[in-house]
Amino acid sequence: MPSSHPLDTVIVGAGPNGLAAAVTLARAGLKVRVLERHARVGGGLSSAGLTLPGFVHDVGSAVHPLGFASPAFRTWPLHAFGLTWVQPEAPFGHVLEEGTGVVVERDLRTAAQNFGEDADTWSALFGPLVAEWRGLLDDVLKPLPRLPRHPLTLARFGVRGVPPATWTARLLKTPEARAVWAGLAAHANLPLGTPGSGAAALLLGTLAHAAQWPFPRGGAQALADALAAYLRFLGGEIETGVEVRSMRDLPPARAVLVDSSPGVLLALLGDRATPAYRAWLRRYRYGPGLLKLDYALSGPVPWRDPSLRRAGTLHLGGTLENITHAEASVARGVAPERPYVLAAQPTLFDPSRAPAGQHILWAYAHTPPGTPDMYAEVIEAQIERAAPGFRDLVLARHLTNARQLQAFSPVFQGGDVNGGRGDLWGLLARPVPSPTPYRTPVSGVYLCSSATPPGGGIHGMSGYWAARAALRDVFGKR
């Protein structure tokens, strides 16, 4: 029940960025209310019983290296509000074409040694970044033109992160290391020949060695619920089941932060948006969509290579060449025959999410617009090749296509998990080229979703930086 106290700020949308914005504002002593159209908070950070009773699936994000390491989340007392991180034995594994697995260990030295003649190159790529991972995150998870606090580390990141992932791959010689690098880079949802595609590989690889790739115990929803509980503790309010269609739907407040798509923001601003701003937002570009499958299984996935059971996350994509081909094919509008499949098997490390002895699998592949739901069979065949007998374990399967994902949250337009293209231009003009891209032409109104820097992923930093802009502009607080 909302209180009748006057509000300082209203947040539209309770995704990770809306919640992070709300917490940042509430921590500054402001009176905040969050309005969310779904019955539960979380947006892309939520869990649901998508298949059978007793199985808890993640609707959006499943794997949370950024959530664990986020400069905002890691300094907030979320453990006191129910959040426990579960660390798999190894952060991730990669399935090569013929089903052999490569498990990437958290320990950098061990991981590098496992790459044989690429050991030194792997250590040189990641070692300096792993040593400074907190500083690196502080600098990369913020709007771009800000002065870096760790310029040397950021420069090292830029040298390998700005060029296409395929360029850095040339430094590696073994098929295993090249494939693992490609599997990391493909998280960017870009062809691997695109400038900027190396950044995802560097960042996620660094976090694998520095902080692991954990899951919130009980599912992604546990992180959203902890953020919501912390917000309420700070005096913030949350109203669910409220869709904001017009500024008239909002209670009076001095600032409004919108955790939604540029399209929804434009609809809310109406005539008050300047023609130039309107033109920028209309040109905002999205990456390809996806087809996602959630499985309830009668047992653990029977990987051909049993060592893959030690990894929380799997990249099923084969060699560097296979993955490069698959992602380029998606960008050309053709669904590949051998897709790059991202999968997570959290119940091996968190049995609370399925009935005793049973398991879940979360998996998706990038897809071009218009991909039919039948493509699920191609994704499933990719899993079956790596794990013969997988299909026999399936108790139930839930499919989410790009259209359904966009209906779930407008941020995921066309099914783009990152809420906008993550190439260099997509990072520089997200959604407009500005040192403070959260500001809109309407005084007191801000965009705070992943359509603002630093972009997609569960880190809350888009919300955090948008809130900082509002604190400075509207409330005179630094």
Ligand X SMILES: Cc1cc2nc3c(=O)[nH]c(=O)nc-3n(C[C@H](O)[C@H](O)[C@H](O)COP(=O)(O)OP(=O)(O)OC[C@H]3O[C@@H](n4cnc5c(N)ncnc54)[C@H](O)[C@@H]3O)c2cc1C
- Nearest-approach distance from CB 341 to ligand X, in angstroms: 13
Instruction: Give me the residue whose beta carbon is nearest to ligand X.
Output: 15
CB of 61 to ligand X, least distance (A): 3
Compare residues 119 and 144 and give the one whose CB is closer to ligand X. Answer: 144
Instruction: Give the residue with the Cβ less far from ligand X, 177 or 201.
Output: 201
| Of 293 and 320, CB closest to ligand X | 293
Q: In angstroms, what is the minimal distance from the CB of 97 to ligand X?
A: 24
Alpha-carbon distance of 266 to 246, in angstroms, equals 10
For residue 123, the minimal CB distance to ligand X (Å) is 26
Contact 385, 281 (CB under 8 A): no
Nearer to ligand X, 73 or 115 (CB): 73
The Cα–Cα gap between 465 and 436 comes to: 9
Residue 118 beta carbon to ligand X: minimum distance, rounded to whole angstroms: 26
CB-nearer residue toward ligand X: 50 or 103: 50
Query: Per the structure block, which two tokens stand in for 77?
Result: 């007392």
Nearer to ligand X, 192 or 447 (CB): 447
Q: Which amino acid is at 206?
A: T
CB of 76 to ligand X, least distance (A): 16
Q: How far is the CB of 400 from ligand X (least distance, A)?
A: 7
Structural contact between residues 63 and 312, judged by C-beta atoms closer than 8 angstroms:
yes
For ligand X, the closer of residues 121 and 382 by Cβ is 382
The minimum distance between CB 452 and ligand X, in angstroms, equals 8
Q: Please name the amino acid found at residue 470.
A: A
Please state, as a whole number, how many other Cβ atoms lie within 10 Å of the Cβ of residue 125: 25
Tally of CB atoms within 10 A around 252? 7
The answer to whether 20 and 464 have CB atoms below 8 angstroms apart is yes
- 2: cis peptide before it, omega within 30°? no
Instruction: CB nearer to ligand X: give 12 or 72.
Output: 12
Q: With respect to ligand X, which residue has the nearer C-beta, 167 or 408?
A: 408
Q: What is the DSSP string of 437-450?
A: TTB-SSTTEEE-ST
Task: Pull the structure tokens for residue 161.
Answer: 């992160």
Which CB, 88 or 176, lies closer to ligand X?
88
Looking up tokens 């400038």 gives 195
Distance CA 23, CA 153 (A): 29
Cβ(431)–Cβ(452) under 8 Å? yes
Number of CB atoms found within 10 A of residue 436's CB:
18
Residues binding ligand X (CB under 6 A) = 12-18, 35-38, 43-45, 60-64, 66, 243-244, 259-260, 264, 292, 364, 405, 409-412, 417-419, 449-450, 456-458, 462
Residue 163 CB, shortest distance to ligand X, in Å, is 24
Give me 261's structure tokens: 């798509």
Rounded to a whole number of angstroms, the minimum distance from the CB of residue 62 to ligand X is 5
Amino acid at 358: Q
The residues pairing with 292 across neighbouring beta strands, listed in sequence order, are: 364, 400
Decide: 286 and 416 in contact? Cβ < 8 Å.
yes
Beta strands in 303-393 (DSSP E): 311-316, 341-344, 359-367
- φ, ψ at 383 (rounded to 5°): -70, -45
